[in-house]
Amino acid sequence: MPAYQKLKELVASYLTPDQCTFIHKAYKHAKIAHDGVTRASGEPYITHPIAVAEILANMQLDHESIAAALLHDVIEDTPITQNEIKDHFNSTVADLVQGMTKLAKVDFRNKEQAQAENIRKMLIAMSKDFRIMLIKLADRVHNMRTLQSLRPEKRYRIAQETIDIFTPIAERLGLHTLKTELEDLAFHAQHPVRYNVLRAAITRARGNRKDFLQQMCNEISEKLKTAGIESKVLGREKHLYSLYKKMQRKGYNFHDVMDIYAFRVIVNDLDTCYRVLGQIHHLYKPKVDLFKDYIALPKPNSYQSIHSTLVTHHGVNIEIQIRTIAMDNVAKHGIAAHWSYKEGEKNVNVTAKLQTRNWFQGLADSTDNATNSLVLLENLKQELGNNEVHVLTPQGEIIVLPAQATPVDFAYALHTDIGHRCKGAKVDGEFSMLTSKLESGQTVQILLSQRTKPNAEWLNFVATHRARNAIRHYLKQQPREVAIPAGRRLLKQALNTTSITEISQENIDRVVKDQNLNSIDDLLNDIGNGKIMSIVIARLLRGNTRELTESDMRQANRQSAIKGTENMMISYAKCCRPLPGDEIVAHVTPNKGIVVHIRNCYAVSNLKTEPDKYISVEWDDYFFSQYEYTTILNIVMDHHKMELMKLLTEIAKSNANIVEIQTTEQTDAIYLVNIKLNVLNRIHLSRVMRKLKNIPHVKSIKRNSPKGFIERRKSTEKQRKIKEQK
């Protein structure tokens, strides 16, 4: 076949004759196995494995990978078994092919669970041998190239799966070439009209840009040549999907996006990269806030390059990437660059392999919500997100975490024992919730306590597989008598109700059966041990199958910080809005459960005369810095330009979240500002108030305290009496 002839020539350019013979033998087996079978397009089926093998051959992968690519569908689609492949070839090729085989014979409840379990199988297999994922990605690329033969709804579903799962995996493995092609193919499948309009616009603009790109390349090359630097300068264009996402994300029009020109400078060695940077910054004016050194701080996928954005003499923004030849190879082919075959030896970067293997092994951990496909896919999508944050330890060490990472993820990234004993955190010197999302550049200090232990609720917000696995490993060791009450408390909290019995027995029995368990106690035990997320079970008990939202997660993360109230519904009185650190007292009401007040709140003024109506309660130090509480500040200030903006800026700097703001003009020069905000505790609020008092035009600032309410009540009563007298 012409397609196979092209593959033969390609592998012969870098493999030995014996290895080419090995591949030819695999081709003959695959051709016989798929004889008479056609694809949806009407082409012979053998054209598909040949195309997959060609994609891998372009990466110069070894002969076993190419052979496995040719055979990758025979176990799934033909009577041939893994043992037969092992007998005809070797155990490595047999394992690679088996790793590509879907769980077709397993009876799944729905397509989503089947997808999740197949992805889990693939991840477990690839954690043993990365080449399985390389073959899978090549397989996906060719399937996406030939997607037009399928029904529109199936095209859309496959394209969405590609964007959600396979392009992030390609990014994580550093396979930039495959990633960009997959993104563009998925974009075309989902939005063909938008794709064609954008492609036509780029084609029209390309003629005008070509001369400018060449002029800039010549200018940069001349500057480097004058400095005695040998280099290769290339002008490049962003691919369609990245342009489309940038237009969507930033609200840009096409001309705004195309105003940015990109160039790549490739040199021979690392030291020269920094010499080039100096010359380029001398030639053009750099934008300091748009500079990234991925050579000093490589990405987790081993990507290394210096990125800088500059303004040219023409007033045009340009992006420059500076890297060595080896770095450029890794940037294009990622982990495949470490598996490429050259002159009889494998060029394997051991560090890159180990880091990637450990990452995928943790991601594919069989304890990771094995009974719930929705959670597996959500965790996978979250973990494979493209964004990262770089945060610092107090000693200045840089820790790289995925976007949405929290202080708990940071603690476990340092050490498992630090994560287990994490009581709270300070971010840039300020107390921060354990659920708060970290941002690049922040310095994080973990507060430890010997009393602290991992909480199953942490699983609702941690973002890294390392944290999830460590928490689950700890929780699995809990005895049943500890896990069941913990699971009951977490489920009640997720249901936002006082009793599980409010859910119909029919729903409970259905969920227990769907989870392959025998009783409600087994379900509660699995929740308490961290095997199942309480928020997921709460949704299933209510008969709700929609996807988790941020609001759901925030609700699930709410928890009482009052000692001894684990099995009770807690509410905090709005009249005094108690904060951790306040002296408190509580009473029971039919609809709100236990209501907590500050001890000297006017609403509990009969505490001394009728003590039997009240319950003595106290804050639990374990939750002292984990959750937000709402309070109100009354601020009197001068009516001065920009002063309110300073007020809000200081609150934001103090790590407090503004919920609501009201302003009332007292006189022409004075006005009252009432701010409702969320803080961690009384100490946090005091720190906020101290900073606000330092603003020059702030006259006074008070917490909307019980005393204020008592004074307001007296004032109201006085006005009522005057009214009655009249």
When comparing pLDDT for 207 and 494, which is higher? Answer: 494
Mean pLDDT of all residues in 103-109: 45
Give the list of residues 6+ apart from residue 535 with CB closer than 8 angstroms, or none.
460, 494, 548, 552, 553, 555, 556
CATH number, domain 629-721, options 3.40.50.300, 3.30.70.260, 3.60.15.10, 2.70.98.60: 3.30.70.260
**Structure confidence by residue, pLDDT tens digits, 209-236:** 777 788 889 999 999 999 999 999 988 7
Q: Please say whether the beta carbons of 64 and 93 come within 8 A.
A: yes
Question: Would you state the torsion angle of the CA atoms of residues 534, 536, 539, 540, taken in this order, to the nearest 10 degrees?
Answer: -110
Q: What is the mean pLDDT of residues 523-538?
A: 80
Helix (H, G, I), strand (E, B) or coil at 344: coil
Q: Which fold would CATH assign to domain 365-474?
A: Ubiquitin-like (UB roll) (3.10.20)
Higher-pLDDT residue of 229 and 666 is 229
For domain 206-338, the CATH architecture is 2-Layer Sandwich (3.30)
**Residues noted as catalytic:** 76-77
User: What's the confidence (pLDDT) of residue 724?
Assistant: 62
* Least-confidence region, from 151-155, 606-610, 710-714: 710-714
Please state, as a whole number, how many other Cβ atoms lie within 10 Å of the Cβ of residue 696: 9
Tell me the CATH class for 2-190: mainly alpha
Distance of alpha carbon 304 from alpha carbon 295, whole angstroms: 5
What's the mean per-residue pLDDT of the chain? Answer: 78
CB-based burial, 362-380: b 16+ in 10 Å, e otherwise = bbbbeebbeebbbbbbbbb
Radius of gyration of the chain (CA): 31
pTM (2 decimals)?
A: 0.55
Domain spans of the chain, in order of start: 2-190, 206-338, 365-474, 478-556, 570-623, 629-721
Q: Is the pLDDT of residue 686 over 50?
A: yes
Which stretches within 294-427 are classed as H helix? 325-333, 350-363, 373-383, 407-414, 416-420
Residue, of 208 and 203, whose pLDDT is higher: 203
Average pLDDT in the 703-708 region?
Answer: 57
In tens, the pLDDT along 17-48 reads 999 999 999 999 999 999 989 988 888 999 99
Report the pLDDT value the prediction gives residue 53, as an integer from 0 to 100.
Answer: 95
Taken in order 99, 102, 107, 108, the sign of the CA dihedral is positive
The amino acid at 240: L
SS3 (DSSP) at 341: strand
Other Cβ atoms less than 10 A from the Cβ of 344: the count is 8
